[in-house]
Amino acid sequence: MNLAGNRTVAVSSSILLFVTMLAVVGPWISPHEYLTTDFSRILLAPAATNMQFFGTDDLGRDLFVRTMLGIRVTLLIAVVASMVSLVIGVAYGAIAGYVGGRVDAVMMRFVDTLYALPFIFLVILLMVAFESNFFLIFVAIGAINWLDMARIVRGQTLSLREREFVEAARLIGVSTPRIILRHIAPNMLGIVVVYLTLTIPQAILVESFLSFLGLGIQEPQTSLGALVDAGVNQMEGASWMLLIPATLLALILMCFNFLGDGLRDVFDARRKS
């Protein structure tokens, strides 16, 4: 299992690394600009000539550059939003778990309440009420994703706090910050990394869903979700406009999910050995 886990991790992280590199470097290499419209060259199918590997859209813009840009935006939003949820979730969960008692009960009651909310609809409402912008998208995704992290970290802290080796450290006289740093945090790291990895595809999903509905990233900026949306409108005549961003989006999501699964296998195996 450990071996299988390692292989999954290696393959999926290599693909992700490659896609990211391509998204960063691609637009520099390509002679095209993501904004430039060329009405003499609309809806061209993918071709190596003129370096328009992914063809052009209905405004004659180069789709390779736009797709790479879309990947950048999608990944950036997902990673930053996940980091935000990581920080909030870990802090919230660790406090609730370590302090325990009433504080924990109240804090977790709040999380439970939020959990029952249909967040995605509130987010849509938020996007409707205010003009969509990057900051709002971060807030929206962060608001959804920190809950899981908080629950997991709280559960881990709570159970680690009761573990005998933590009690032994208390008895020796190890200070609370040092207990958290030396005894609790290292034992929680694995599971937090796994969930962080699994939070990223969640964030990608939310962002691309909003963009697909036309409520997320706005033109002329783009993301994979927005590209899929544009592709749907042209799918009968120019199926590549749908299939290319759709495939890349699915590939990225799949790699993150596999990476998370693989990491979990690796950490599980380590815990059992």
Partner 1 sequence: MSLLEVSGLSIRYAGAAVVNDISFTVDEGESVGIVGESGSGKSQTALALLGLLPKQADVSGSVKLGGEEIIGATEQALNKLRARRVGIVFQDTMQALNPYMQIGKQVRQVLLQHQLAAGDAADRRVMEMLRRVGLPDPERQFRAYPHQLSGGMRQRVMLASALIAEPDLLIADEPTTALDVTVQAQILELLEDIRDNTALLLITHDLGIVAGRCERMLVFEKGRLVDAGPTTSLFASPGHAHTRALLDVAPRIDRGTFPAPIKASTILSVEAAEVVYEAGGSAQLRAVIDVDLSLRKGETLAVVGESGSGKSSLVRAILGLIPMHSGRVVYAGEALDGPVETRSIAQKRDFQLVYQDPVAALNPQMRVQSIVGEPLSVHEPSLSSQERIARVITTLQKVGLDDNYLRRYPHQLSGGQAQRVAIARALILEPSVLVCDEAVAALDGSVRAQVLALLRTEQNKTGLSIIFISHDLAVVRSISHRVLVMYMGHLVEFADCEKIFAAPRHPYTRALLDAVPVPDPVVSVRVAPLKGEVGSLLSPPSGCVFHPRCGYAKEICSERAPEPRDVGGSRVACHRADDIELTPQHP
Partner 2 sequence: MLRYTLLRLLGAIPTLLLVIVLAFLMVHAAPGGPFDDERVLPADVEANIAKAYHLDESLPKQFVRYMSGLLRGDLGPSYRYRDHTVSELIRSGFPLSLQLGAMAITLALLAGVSAGTVAALRQDSLLDRVIMSFAMTGISIPVFVIAPVLVLLLAVKVHWLPAGWSGSAGAAKFVLPVFTLALPQIAYIARLTRASMIDVLGRDFIRTARAQGLSTSTLVRVHALKPAMLPVLSYMGPAIAAILTGSVVVEEVFGIPGLGQFFVRGALNRDYTLVLGIVIFYATLIVFLNLLVDILYGVIDPRVRYK
Provide the binding-site residues for partner 1, judged by CB under 8 A: 163-165, 167-176, 182-183, 186-187, 271, 273
Nearest to 256 by CA among 212, 211, 195: 195
C-beta atoms surrounding 22 within 10 Å: 16
Q: Which residues pair with 62 in a beta bridge?
A: 56
Token pair of 224 as six digits: 């994979």
Task: Return the ∠ at Cα 148 (arms to 225 and 144), rounded to 5°.
Answer: 40
If one asks whether residue 216 binds partner 2 (CB under 8 A), the answer comes out as no
Contacting partner 2 (CB under 8 A), which of 50, 213, 220, 270?
Answer: 213
Which residue type does 20 have?
A: T
Nearest to 215 by CA among 144, 126, 141: 126
Alpha carbon distance 27, 44 (integer Å): 19
Choosing among partner 2, partner 1, none, which partner's interface includes residue 51 (Cβ < 5 to 8 Å by kind)?
none
Choosing among partner 1, partner 2, none, which partner's interface includes residue 186 (Cβ < 5 to 8 Å by kind)?
partner 1
Contacting partner 2 (CB under 8 A), which of 121, 171, 173, 273?
Answer: 121
If one asks whether residue 267 binds partner 2 (CB under 8 A), the answer comes out as no
Nearest to 191 by CA among 264, 255, 261: 264
Contacting partner 2 (CB under 8 A), which of 13, 218, 221, 257?
Answer: 257
If one asks whether residue 91 binds partner 2 (CB under 8 A), the answer comes out as no
Choosing among partner 2, partner 1, none, which partner's interface includes residue 219 (Cβ < 5 to 8 Å by kind)?
none
User: In whole angstroms, how close is the CB of 270 to partner 1 at the nearest point?
Assistant: 9
Alpha carbon distance 97, 107 (integer Å): 10
Report whether the peptide linkage leading into residue 220 is cis, meaning its omega lies within 30 degrees of zero.
yes
Alpha carbon distance 245, 158 (integer Å): 43
User: In whole angstroms, how close is the CB of 107 to partner 2 at the nearest point?
Assistant: 15
If one asks whether residue 79 binds partner 2 (CB under 8 A), the answer comes out as no
Cβ distance 77 to 207 under 8 Å? yes
E strand map for 64-195: none
Cβ distance 10 to 22 under 8 Å? no
If one asks whether residue 259 binds partner 2 (CB under 8 A), the answer comes out as no
- In degrees and rounded to multiples of 5, residue 56 shows phi and psi of -130, 165
Identify which range of 18-26, 46-54, 134-142, 237-245 contacts partner 2 by CB under 8 A: 237-245
User: In whole angstroms, how close is the CB of 29 to partner 1 at the nearest point?
Assistant: 45
Contacting partner 2 (CB under 8 A), which of 24, 105, 168, 254?
Answer: 254
If one asks whether residue 94 binds partner 2 (CB under 8 A), the answer comes out as no
If one asks whether residue 228 binds partner 2 (CB under 8 A), the answer comes out as yes
Give 59 or 124: the residue with its C-beta nearer to partner 2: 124
Residues forming the site for partner 2 (CB under 8 A): 113, 116-118, 120-122, 124-130, 201, 205, 208-209, 212-215, 225, 228-229, 231-232, 235-236, 239, 242-243, 246, 249-250, 253-254, 257-258, 261
